[in-house]
């Protein structure tokens, strides 16, 4: 799709039930709750794929992210969106995300909210990230990621998902 703001999304309620549809640009302008997927991708050495978003992104342009993913299209399942988004952003085929947890993300200051279905996947081949989505990328250790989180601007929903991910792994 050439214009992401024209993508049709499902609008959902507080229980993640579909209550309507709207174009992505309208969803963002009106602060309507919708659905997203996050996939934390690790290589066989445990390093995490981290990237900087392009400056043209509608949400958090230029910010770093430790997840690949994005919005769930209208009528699409979370699982299908996780595979599609991971394959698109990494430029790969055959990735198999495993579900971890789901939560409702809210940014009250910006008036935004979305359900986040979070996955994990391992990838041991080359990547060719989508240039319209990814401005920079690297595989970094969890310790390096902790250093970057303290220093660089990361997408706030990804930071919240990663915090929950670390709690899940610790518990």
Binding positions for Mg(2+) are 85, 89
- Backbone region of residue 64 per phi and psi (left: phi > 0; alpha: psi in -120 to 50; beta: other values): beta
d(CA 107, CA 95): 30
Residue pair 21/11 in contact by the 8 Å Cβ criterion: yes
Instruction: Give the count of alpha carbons within 13 A of 52, CB side only.
Output: 9
Binding residues: 85, 89
Instruction: Give the count of alpha carbons within 13 A of 59, CB side only.
Output: 24
E strands, 24-160, are 34-42, 48-53, 64-65, 68-71, 98-107, 112-122, 134-140
**Bridge partners of residue 154, in order along the sequence:** 64
């Amino acid at each position: 799709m050439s214009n992401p703001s024209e993508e049709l999304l499902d609008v959902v309620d507080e229980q993640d039930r579909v209550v309507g549809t709207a174009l992505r640009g309208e969803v963002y302008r009106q602060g309507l709750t919708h659905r997203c997927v996050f996939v934390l991708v690790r290589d066989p050495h445990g390093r995490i794929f981290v990237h900087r978003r392009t400056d043209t992104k509608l949400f958090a342009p230029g910010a770093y992210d430790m997840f690949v993913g994005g919005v769930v299209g209208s009528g699409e399942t979370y699982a299908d969106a996780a595979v599609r988004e991971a394959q698109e952003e990494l430029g790969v085929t055959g990735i198999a995300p495993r579900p971890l947890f789901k939560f409702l993300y809210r940014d009250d200051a910006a008036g935004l909210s979305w359900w986040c279905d979070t996955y994990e996947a391992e990838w041991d081949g080359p990547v060719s990230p989508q240039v319209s989505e990814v401005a920079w990328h690297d595989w970094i250790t969890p310790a390096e990621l902790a250093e970057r989180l303290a220093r660089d601007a990361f997408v706030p929903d990804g930071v919240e998902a990663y915090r929950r991910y670390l709690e899940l792994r610790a518990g």
